Chain A
Amino acid sequence: AQSVTQPDIHITVSEGASLELRCNYSYGATPYLFWYVQSPGQGLQLLLKYFSGDTLVQGIKGFEAEFKRSQSSFNLRKPSVHWSDAAEYFCAVGDLKLIFGAGTRLAVHP
């Protein structure tokens, strides 16, 4: 069955600290992988995507993610978090129909 697991429901980091949000997937074929961010009351904004090629992909707002086929993972990272990064982050897999993880809510302490 196709699925996405985001093990961390809530994460709190201090401003300026590094961040890693975990994502594991189960998908029959070579996956298309995505990270979206959702601020309160807003829609989903695409941060980055992986289709093929270089397994380290760069996105907007200083985020990057690394595809590791052997671990079925696509973790999102940022070297230095800003207060404005506080939001909910969703990992997704698929092509025509996206399957989303449950999301990780990020809080940033000043």
Chain B
Amino acid sequence: GAGVSQSPSNKVTEKGKDVELRCDPISGHTALYWYRQSLGQGLEFLIYFQGNSAPDKSGLPSDRFSAERTGGSVSTLTIQRTQQEDSAVYLCASSLEVTSAFFGQGTRLTVV
């Protein structure tokens, strides 16, 4: 597709369950980012992938959060044992250069 695609667009899960969020970046983009947007915290950086380099995981809030990027393309963000404070919109972005990131429409996660 022409833009960054995220799925699902909405996810409701029970506390304690695991969830997987998917991101399809723009074709050819070497960099992929995950951000989280919540009412109390605004937009927060989570993790960054660039080519074959080791990802920058410095923004992941706890060890319940992990992400992988397969074949330098699709990425999955996994949250284990979800908590209510994980409720937020998770945004994925990709870029060809270091700058000029293009964002997807996000996955709204609600933990009940």
Contact = CB atoms under 8 A, between A and B. Distances in A.
Interface stretch (A16-24, A68-76, A99-107): A99-107
Interface string B83-112: 000000001010000111111111000000
Contact of A98 (B101, B102, B104): B101
A42 B104 CA distance: 8
A55 to B, nearest CB: 17
B99 A100 contact: no
Nearest to B6: A43
A95 B99 contact: yes
A13 B43 CA distance: 25
Contacts, number: 48
Contacts of A36: 103
B71 interface: no
Give the bracket for the number of chain B residues in contact with chain A.
20 to 34
A58 to B, nearest CB: 15
Interface string A67-110: 00000000000000000000000101001111111110000000
Contacts of B104: 43
A92 B45 CA distance: 12
Contacts of A90: 43
Which one of A32, A92, A96 has the highest number of Cβ atoms from chain B below 10 Å of its Cβ?
A: A96
B48 A100 contact: no
20 contacts: A34-B99, A36-B103, A43-B4, A43-B91, A43-B103, A43-B105, A44-B91, A46-B100, A46-B102, A92-B43, A96-B50, A96-B98, A97-B48, A97-B56, A97-B58, A97-B59, A98-B43, A98-B101, A100-B42, A103-B43
Top 8 A-B pairs, shortest CB-CB distance: A100-B43, A44-B103, A43-B105, A43-B103, A97-B45, A102-B42, A32-B99, A43-B104
